[in-house]
Chains A and B, each alone.
Chain A
Amino acid sequence: MKRLGLIVNPIAGIGGRLGLKGTDGYTLQALNAKYGATPVSAKRAQEALEVIKASGVDVEIVTCGGGMGFEIAKSLFDVVTCVGQPEVGETTSADTVMAAKRIAEASVDILMFVGGDGTARDIYAAVGADQVCIGVPSGVKMHSGVYGLSPMKSGELVSVFLSHGHMRTETAEVMDIDEEAYRDGKVYAKLFGYLSIPVDRRKTQNKKSGSHESERYFQDAIACYMLDHIMDEDTYYVLGPGTTTAQIQRKLEQPFTLLGVDIVYRGKTIARDLNESQLVQWIEGKRTKLVITPTGGQGFLLGRGNQQISGVVVRSIGMDNIIVIATKNKLLSLGASPLYVDLDDACNEGLGGYRKVITGYDDVVLKKVTY
């Protein structure tokens, strides 16, 4: 019987819809009290585990209690071992580190964790690159290259890894936003270390990449085209995160948030860093278009790094009112991979297919969008 380690960060991903830049330093209780937040990581853990269960692989789950995996695992698998509990009711970074150490000591074949970059950093701090790991994407910040493309893809990867006697592993970057650079207005992901992950390029997220200076010229051409030919006076433009969308506001000499969602109307930034509910309020009853760009090297249009733009927001704006912009180099970095969306099923299906991506002045690329 194979052994699968499981760690769920119960509060990972909640901050996305709230417009937070991550939930590091928060407790679930505090988020609930302040924002009325509901957990998302448990659902994502369940999606991944269901795929593993469906694969028929004979596996024992080694995990921890207190919302860190035991409860979900027990609902799906017969053999589940609990090796620890959070110190106090709410989980903290220290609990993730403790859990990872104990699970690794229990000699698991692979450790699957559910969270974002903060969780990945904790896992790295506990086990380094010695333990084979895979992340289930559930964070707000996911600059690291350690996650599957979706919970289901992570589950598939674990199933294949456990079924095969030998599967090549490689070290993947654990990255998080360089907060000092961010305060200076730059999105630079900082390298914190490496985790060992199974190799399947199609099922693992590419690490996000900061923009090179030469990219600015291309971003500038896109921004000029948007302002000259696309953006009109009667429409509210919801600009998603990223340096490419921010270039539009730079050209307008308007303030912007690099990782947040802003609204531009008649050449002015009229709202900044909005969360999901604020966005819904702002766009209600208005003629609105959404301008988004794939985040970093992942190729995700929606559902990663911009969770404020939820299915509710997308439906409210309208599927036909989404404008995708990206430099050709950014698209080339994705190889033959399509662009991805990761919202609710109805949105995913509605957004799927081929979409025009504005890549320059009067210049578009046709890219497949899938989920």
Chain B
Amino acid sequence: MAMQREQRVRNFHQAKWDEPCIFELGTEGERGQLLPEVEPDIEAVVGDVFASLPEVLQRKTRAKLPEMAEMQVLRHYLRMSQATLGADLNVDIGQGTCTMKYSPKVNERIVRNHKLMETHPLQDESTVQGTLEAVYGLDEILQEISGMNKFTFQPGGGSQAILTIASLMKAYHEANGEGDQRDEIITTIFSHPSNAAAPKVKGYKVVTLYYDEHGVPDFEALKNAVSERTAGIFITNPEDTGIYNDKIKEFTRVVHEVGGLCAYDQANLNGIMGITRAKEADFDMCFFNLHKTFSAPHGCGGPACGALGVTDVLKPFLPVPLVEKTGSAYTLNYDMPLSIGKIRGFIGVTPVIVKAYAWARSLGAEGLVEAAKVAVLNNNYLLKHIREIPGASAPLSDVKYRIEQVRYSWIDLCEETGVSTHDISLRMADYGFHLWSSHHPFIVPEPFTIEPTESYSKVELDEYLAGLRQVVKECRETPEVVKTAPHNSVIHRVDESVLDDPSKWAITWRLFKKKQGFEL
């Protein structure tokens, strides 16, 4: 008989190693591997290989890398791995907006095949037909899902896809002789900040729409915003609130009427995949983050893919090369005179593309729709139960159902107990659940955003709910315990104020030492 986990929280305690930063470890002269010296006969033939390096690329001093033996390095990283609440370790649904879903391990095996791993992007296309077939295959699948006519996989993530869209809009209007006239991009306050930032990089002015009393972008404001200066709109639907904007086709109509283009930020397609399409809402472009909806792992800022699809009208402007099929052969098309050029190298991050292709093929058309339906069902199961927790609420709209996620609020609980959403999130870590942190823009007081996707079982959703109920109970009975959490985690409270202080935060060890006044 299965254990009944749904009614109770775990007696969890995370490993705490007090592990130093790797730059603080090691001993001078210590090595992991000792490689043999170059034999004189070889050196005599090859010469000084470093002499061919331009002088500006040659270091003046040795890199100050940690000097450690292999065993100590292994131990360090194993300890670090125990100090995380990673996607494969915890019920990760508290990371709302991130679309945390399971990344099947079989797909990792596929991309580690030497036929993919050992290829080089400069190889002749005739020697990488299998890789190109996978890219072309995913293109066809995404065309069917979106209704668009061609996809590029070159953007290395969502923000690059948005930058590509802004570039396409500019190229399109310039080709029509309206490049100077159309200098405004419209977006919404709910949209990812890159939707405002990327157009600015391309020199556009940005007009932002706020939301109306129904929790969706103000349609009347849009009607007042559009003009002959409008280059286009960047919009998301549903937004991170999980509220579906049923006027979306009206939005695209109003923008098209003044000659603007419509771009659909579908970085997260998870709730409507196979149910509604960008084409039917009259969008000219859309993009999907393959690390969200299509199960490729989140890269922590590393290589990813913002797959960008466009209609036939915009296809000539796409980045080069495009993967195409001529007869039975897959080819790279660089012959696109109107192309915006390159956003990133080559055809994109092929392991990510192949993982998404494998995932989509393994589910099939029916499976993809089923995934969306289960994600929505899971979300509304949580919505019903969280609404029943005294002190929790789902503001912005009274609609009964949301799509794939919900931005909730602890404002009532906070006013009653003085415990904030930040306190609650840290206390959830004491029960082995990842804390939530992504709630932009901060329009909901004391926010928390939950997005269960289709990957989590009912037992896991119930276990998460039990965690929430337990912490809410503590807010009322022992609020000090919550306010001083976490107690069972790797580290206690940290002073987060430094994150907002440019004179203190650092993203490298060297910069940290410099800002702290240590000897470099």
Chain A interface (Cβ < 8 Å from any Cβ of B): 214, 328-329, 331-332, 335-336, 353-354, 356, 359, 362-368
Contact = CB atoms under 8 A, between A and B. Distances in A.
Nearest to B215: A336
A364 B441 CA distance: 16
Given A364-B205, A364-B208, A366-B210, 4 more contacts: A328-B208, A335-B443, A366-B221, A368-B220
A364 B210 CA distance: 11
Contacts of B200: 362-363
Contacts of B441: 328, 332
B210 A365 contact: yes
Contacts of B93: none
Interface of B: 189, 196, 200, 205-213, 215, 218, 220-222, 224-225, 441-443, 500
A367 B196 contact: no
Contacts of A353: 224
Given A214-B500, A332-B441, A335-B443, A365 B207 contact: yes
Nearest to A331: B210
B208 A366 contact: yes
Contacts of A328: 189, 208, 441
17 contacts: A214-B500, A328-B189, A331-B210, A332-B189, A332-B441, A332-B442, A332-B443, A354-B220, A354-B221, A354-B224, A362-B200, A363-B200, A363-B208, A364-B205, A365-B210, A366-B218, A367-B221
B220 A336 contact: no
Shortest 6 CB-CB contacts between residues of A and residues of B: A354-B224, A366-B221, A365-B208, A362-B205, A336-B213, A366-B225
B197 to A, nearest CB: 10
A336 B207 contact: no
| A contact face: mostly helix, strand, loop, or mixed | strand
Given A362-B205, A365-B189, A365-B207, A336 B212 contact: yes
A365 B188 CA distance: 9
Contacts of B208: 328, 359, 363-366
A336 B196 CA distance: 20
A332 B189 CA distance: 9
A368 B221 contact: yes
B207 A364 contact: yes
Contacts of A362: 200, 205-206
Contacts of A356: 207
Contacts of B213: 336
Nearest to A356: B207
A365 B196 CA distance: 11
Nearest to A355: B224
Contacts of A368: 218, 220-221
A221 B106 CA distance: 50
A201 to B, nearest CB: 11
Nearest to B211: A336
A39 to B, nearest CB: 37
Contacts of B212: 336
A163 to B, nearest CB: 24
Contacts of B209: 365-366
A363 B189 contact: no
B158 to A, nearest CB: 21
Contact of B206 (A331, A332, A336, A364): A364
A206 B155 CA distance: 44
Contacts of B218: 366, 368
Contacts of A354: 220-221, 224-225
Contacts of A214: 500
Nearest to B186: A366
A367 B210 contact: yes
Nearest to B205: A362
B500 A366 contact: no
B163 to A, nearest CB: 17
Nearest to A362: B205
Contacts of A329: 442
A336 B210 contact: yes
Centre residue among A328, A335, A363, A366 by max chain B CB count within 10 A: A366
Nearest to B443: A332
Contacts of B221: 354, 366-368
A362 B224 CA distance: 18
Contacts of B211: 336
Contacts of B215: 336
A365 to B, nearest CB: 5
A364 B225 CA distance: 10
A53 to B, nearest CB: 29
A354 to B, nearest CB: 4
A364 to B, nearest CB: 5
A260 B441 CA distance: 32
A332 B221 CA distance: 16
A62 to B, nearest CB: 32
Nearest to B395: A335
A226 to B, nearest CB: 14
Contacts of A335: 443
B207 A366 contact: yes
A120 B431 CA distance: 47
B184 to A, nearest CB: 9
A363 B196 contact: yes
Contacts of A332: 189, 210, 441-443
Contacts of B205: 362-364
Contacts of A365: 189, 207-210
A366 to B, nearest CB: 4
A301 to B, nearest CB: 15
A329 B208 CA distance: 13
Nearest to A360: B206
B442 A366 contact: no
Contacts of A359: 208
A139 B238 CA distance: 43
A329 B441 CA distance: 9
Centre residue among A214, A336, A353 by max chain B CB count within 10 A: A336
A368 B219 CA distance: 11
A249 to B, nearest CB: 25
B220 to A, nearest CB: 7
A145 to B, nearest CB: 14
A323 to B, nearest CB: 15
A331 B212 CA distance: 13
Contacts of A363: 196, 200, 205-206, 208
A364 B229 CA distance: 14
B141 to A, nearest CB: 37
A368 B211 CA distance: 11
A366 B223 CA distance: 10
Contacts of B196: 363
A214 B502 CA distance: 12
A214 B501 CA distance: 10
A367 B189 CA distance: 12
A44 B205 CA distance: 42
